[in-house]
Amino acid sequence: APRRRSGRAARGCAAGLGGDTPIEQRAPEIIRILSEAYPDAKVALRFSNPLEMLVATILSAQCTDEKVNEVTATLFVKYRTAEDYLKVPEDELKADIKPTGFFNQKAISIREACRRIVEVYDGRVPDTMEDLITLRGVARKTANIVMGNAFGKVEGIAVDTHVKRLANRLGFSAQSDPDKIEQDLMRVIPRDRWFDFTYVLIDHGRAVCIARKPKCEICPVNHLCPSSLI
């Protein structure tokens, strides 16, 4: 849960900022307040190397991080290298990841990504955006997550369902395409905050700005949000 908004955080109103203020003016205050509310925000997926980060992120599509972590606790003991995912029959891998949902497509993506990792990258997950997005099942969102968490490289902002929802509601972007939303976010969020603020937005999306009925009454940035229900 987010930390409660302090009197200092509420000064955005006193400063004349509101939900109808241009995002370029509201963004710094939104970033500050939400960062204070979620000081420990970080990726929830458990991993110990780049391959595990890649596989966990692919499995996380349409699945909770908690379920993914539950599955990978045993999966990562059985599959330690990219070659391991290619050695077993495809049906066996499907059975191993079935609890994460959409396991047929995920199994194909994991195996084909690992095949390219073995054949083109000597068994090692590549560490650049250009190379990562050539892997099956990897778009910019997944590449950003892998690069930032596994390699400490930040080239953009990972736009998952939570980030997309909050970007639209807070007025950071009016786009629906994740790549266009990312570009809008990168224009108003300082580069040195791209990585950590991604997880601040995700945590806020899970705890307060939920999809069906956002909890605007407890949101620390409701006074800066054009979508606020209060």
Residue with tokens 């990258």, as numbered in its chain: 121
The Cα–Cα gap between 71 and 225 comes to: 37
Average pLDDT over residues 155-177: 97
Of 96, 160, 184, 203, the active-site residue reads 160
Does 1 score more than 70 pLDDT? Answer: no
Does 3 score more than 70 pLDDT? Answer: no
For residue 194, the one-letter residue type is W
- Categorize the per-residue pLDDT at 17 as very low, low, confident or very high, splitting at 50, 70 and 90: confident
Of 141, 164, 184, 203, the active-site residue reads 141
Answer yes or no: 20 catalytic.
Answer: no
How high is the pLDDT of residue 15?
54
What pLDDT, in 10s, does the model give residues 184-216?
A: 999 999 999 999 999 999 999 999 999 999 999
Secondary structure letter of residue 20 according to DSSP? T
**How many Cα atoms sit within 13 Å of 208 on the Cβ side?**
23
Q: Are 48 and 76 in contact (CB under 8 A)?
A: yes
| Exposed/middle/buried for residue 63 (C-beta within 10 Å: 0-12, 13-18, 19+) | middle
Residue with tokens 């229900």, as numbered in its chain: 229
Answer yes or no: 179 catalytic.
Answer: no
What pLDDT, in 10s, does the model give residues 67-91?
A: 999 999 999 999 999 999 999 999 9
Average pLDDT over residues 44-49: 98
CA dihedral 221, 222, 225, 229 (to 10 degrees): 160
Closest CA to 180 of 193, 192, 164, 197: 164
Percentage above 70 pLDDT, the chain? 93
CA dihedral 56, 159, 43, 225 (to 10 degrees): -150
Residue with tokens 């059985």, as numbered in its chain: 78
Q: Is 227 helix (H, G, I), strand (E, B) or coil?
A: coil
Does 9 score more than 60 pLDDT? Answer: no
Q: Is 79 helix (H, G, I), strand (E, B) or coil?
A: coil
- Categorize the per-residue pLDDT at 18 as very low, low, confident or very high, splitting at 50, 70 and 90: confident
